[in-house]
Amino acid sequence: MTAVTAESAARRPLHLSTGLGDLGLALGISIFIFATYAAAGFPTLSSPGGDNDSLLRLVEVRDLLGGQAWFDLHQYRMGPEGGFVMHWSRLIDAPLAGIALLASALGAGVELSEGIALTLWPLLLMAGTLFGLIQIARSLGGDHTVLPTATLGAGALYFVGIYRPGSIDHHNAQIALTVAMLAFLVKSPGKRRFPALAGVAAAVMLAIGMETAPYVAVGGAAAALAFLFGDEREARGAASFGLSFAAATFAAFLITVGPANWSVPECDAMSNVQLALAAFGGIGLALVALSPATNSTFGRRLLGLFALSATFLAVARFAFPQCLGDPYAAIDPRLRSLWLDYVAEAQSVIDLARADWTKLLAYFVTPAIALGFLAIHLGRHGVTRAKLIYGGFLLATFLVSCWQVRGSSFSIPLATGALALGLGGLRERIAVSPSPARSVALVAVWLASFNLLWSAAGGALSARAAVVGMASSADECSADAGFTELASLPAGAVLAVSDLGAPILANTPHRVLAGPYHRNVAGNLAMIDAFLAKTDDAEAVVRSQGIDHVALCRGNAENRNFTQRSPDGLMADLMAERVPSWLALDPETRGHTIEIYRVLSPASR
């Protein structure tokens, strides 16, 4: 009987029982991880560790459940009076609100319903992402890759830190959809539903946030190149991907964009810009793939795709030029120097290396090892369609992470496929010809494949270990318990650094001036003006914005930046306990995590 090779196993169709087994494995691992959180008392629910996006998402869900209109994305309690329009998608608010409503209908109180949504949603996303990673690994190397992928994938998803209870911002959903798109693309195009589902995943993750635009582009390129070098099945697959992508983007546009904004172009959120480009690119790819004039020969396919690409780029260049540049190019220099330059996820690999090279170990080592393993594997076993598509995605996510560190949350989980190939191949060789040297090598490769170990090594080597206490204090600045006194005060407007904006909204009834969001330009600039200004000028800014209270958390890193920039400004005075005459410290908050200063009326000074 002929032995079944890993390559042939990878090409076999996935039976329902196998799929259910993989899903059960992914769900079981995810439940186990969440059980460890439960055993610790779900600490991230009460102390989110500076996860501002999840806190503001929670505020959005509460507003939606409280009656705010579906198409109304204003955040009325952040920024100057009247707020500003957020760029986030209701596609994340909806399932969270749905889970909370269902829990409430089953008898849970408001707080418990909210806690269930905050826990169940990231759990489901973790299980779905891990299941997708296992399916990718099966397509690459067959059954022997499942155990390494499940193990390394669980560690990777735990490391990135955006699947823990309370993590309800959109990044974990985007990773799950990226993995789903890749899992469908690497499968055989014989069944049209796979490329069609890949197109749907691409459209949904783009509608959720524009950060995934590079991965959507890679997905479209993968479908187009498979058509270019493939057969009739690849042509049908490319057409299915393009049509489903265009149709799903149109559906997402109708669901998330109100009629009043259909004609308003936006670069950072779903709008007519994304709709037009998706329709042009998706339908154009389908026409090129299905038309005999452009699909009959390799030369015609190449010419057709070249014409489509050139026309697509021309449309993007001349119809929407404002969306092709650096999204932060026009940001105010003060916001860049006091906020954006300190956002770790927006830094490049060069900036990160200059700031603290030891962090490179956590973000870049395992994807780099994975790329090396994949190159060695391709050299030994040859190139396959699935491995080329997967390799292109892994390389793209790695390059994006070099541009902005946030891309590592995609590259680290995706690296598990190539790492599993390397481990699986080594295990097979040991089974055929065991030796102590190969056993030692297997253990070494296993250890090198765990991103958590590289992260621990980076932490041990970090020259900044001395500021661990400061980081701990900064985490406490967003904990629920610190806002008890502020929450007890009558609703008003609060001046605080941007890192405190979302925690204040989530834990109190107040309005805040600042928050780390690029659309809140006026509010953030007013906050900067107030904290950098000398006493009299700061008072003028505070009164012009209708501020009732100033909140200060001494452990926040932003305080140090303001103090260094303006040693005689308001922030420097507060940090040195030099309280201006127009402020009064609430004595009950002295020495607490959050100190509260009341803005005195001119008559009471």
What pLDDT sits at residue 16?
A: 58
Mean pLDDT, residues 158-184: 95
Query: Residue 68 and residue 62: Cα distance in Å, rounded?
Result: 9
Summarize pLDDT for 474-515 with one digit per residue, the tens. 567 888 788 999 999 999 999 999 999 999 999 999 999 999
Tokens 């186990």, residue located? 32
Summarize pLDDT for 228-278 with one digit per residue, the tens. 999 999 999 999 999 999 999 999 999 999 999 999 999 999 999 999 999
Q: Which residues contact 127 (CB under 8 A, 6 or more apart)?
A: 23, 26, 27, 29, 30, 31
The pLDDT confidence band at residue 183, using thresholds 50, 70 and 90, is very high
Residue among 157, 141, 146, 143 nearest 373 (CA):
141
The pLDDT confidence band at residue 311, using thresholds 50, 70 and 90, is very high
Q: Which residues contact 310 (CB under 8 A, 6 or more apart)?
A: none
Out of 3-7, 97-101, 376-380, 513-517, which region has the weakest mean confidence (pLDDT)?
A: 3-7
C-alpha 143, offset from chain centre: 30
> Coil, strand, or helix at residue 528?
helix
Q: Does 382 or 90 have the greater pLDDT score?
A: 90
pLDDT for residue 465 is more than 50 = no
pLDDT for residue 335 is more than 90 = no
Mean pLDDT estimate for the chain: 89
pLDDT for residue 460 is more than 80 = yes
Beta strands 549-552; 493-495: pairing state: parallel
How would you list the strands of the sheet with 511-512, edge to edge?
A: 511-512, 493-495, 549-552, 595-599, 583-585
pLDDT for residue 537 is more than 50 = yes
Beta strands 595-599; 583-585: pairing state: antiparallel
- Within a 10 A sphere around the Cβ of 369, how many other Cβ atoms? 19
What pLDDT sits at residue 329?
A: 62
Helices (H), 142-212: 146-160, 171-185, 193-208
pLDDT for residue 332 is more than 80 = no
What pLDDT sits at residue 598?
A: 96
What pLDDT sits at residue 14?
A: 52
pLDDT for residue 95 is more than 50 = yes
What pLDDT sits at residue 464?
A: 46
Query: Residue 521 and residue 422: Cα distance in Å, rounded?
Result: 48
Highest mean pLDDT among 60-64, 349-353, 357-361, 434-438: 60-64
The pLDDT confidence band at residue 472, using thresholds 50, 70 and 90, is very low
DSSP letter for 78, please. Answer: B
What pLDDT sits at residue 1?
A: 34
C-alpha 528, offset from chain centre: 27
pLDDT for residue 327 is more than 70 = no
- Within a 10 A sphere around the Cβ of 186, how many other Cβ atoms? 26
Residue among 551, 442, 433, 573 nearest 501 (CA):
551
Residues 34-71: b if buried by 16+ CB within 10 A, e if exposed: beebeeeebebbebbbbbbbbbbbbbbbbbbbeebeee
Out of 9-13, 57-61, 143-147, 188-192, which region has the weakest mean confidence (pLDDT)?
A: 9-13
- Within a 10 A sphere around the Cβ of 292, how many other Cβ atoms? 7
Residues 548-570: b if buried by 16+ CB within 10 A, e if exposed: bbbbbbbbbbbbebbbebbeebb
Query: Residue 471 and residue 483: Cα distance in Å, rounded?
Result: 19
What pLDDT sits at residue 471?
A: 35
What pLDDT sits at residue 73?
A: 96
Residue among 466, 450, 449, 452 nearest 356 (CA):
466
What pLDDT sits at residue 50?
A: 77
The pLDDT confidence band at residue 467, using thresholds 50, 70 and 90, is very low
What pLDDT sits at residue 406?
A: 87
Q: Does 130 or 17 have the greater pLDDT score?
A: 130
Out of 136-145, 289-298, 333-342, which region has the weakest mean confidence (pLDDT)?
A: 333-342
Ordered DSSP codes for 340-357:
GGG-GGG--HHHHHHHHT
What pLDDT sits at residue 225?
A: 95
What type of residue is 443?
A: V
Summarize pLDDT for 374-390 with one digit per residue, the tens. 999 998 888 999 999 99
Summarize pLDDT for 107-123 with one digit per residue, the tens. 999 999 999 999 999 99
What pLDDT sits at residue 469?
A: 34
pLDDT for residue 437 is more than 90 = no
Residue among 138, 238, 143 nearest 192 (CA):
238
What pLDDT sits at residue 603?
A: 65
Tokens (6 digits) for 90: 């209701």
pLDDT for residue 470 is more than 50 = no
Query: Residue 96 and residue 354: Cα distance in Å, rounded?
Result: 39
Q: Does 339 or 160 have the greater pLDDT score?
A: 160
The pLDDT confidence band at residue 602, using thresholds 50, 70 and 90, is confident
What is the maximum span of the chain, computed from C-alpha positions, in angstroms?
96
The pLDDT confidence band at residue 328, using thresholds 50, 70 and 90, is low
Tokens (6 digits) for 480: 């629920």
pLDDT for residue 98 is more than 90 = yes
